[in-house]
Amino acid sequence: MKRKVLVGVLVIFGTIASGCAAGGGAYYVRYGPPAPRYAVVGVAPGPGYVWTHGYWDWRGNNWAWAEGRWVRPPRPGAVWVSHEWRQEGRDWRFHRGYWR
Which contacts (CB < 8 Å, 24+ apart) does range 90-93 have? 90/30, 91/28, 91/29, 91/30, 92/28, 92/29, 92/30, 92/31, 92/32, 92/33, 93/26, 93/27, 93/28, 93/29
Task: Give the domain ranges of the chain.
Answer: 26-99
The residue that leads in pLDDT, 76 or 21, is 76
- Global pTM reads 0.64
pLDDT, position 8: 34
Give the mean pLDDT of 53-60. Answer: 90
Percent pLDDT > 90 in the chain is: 47
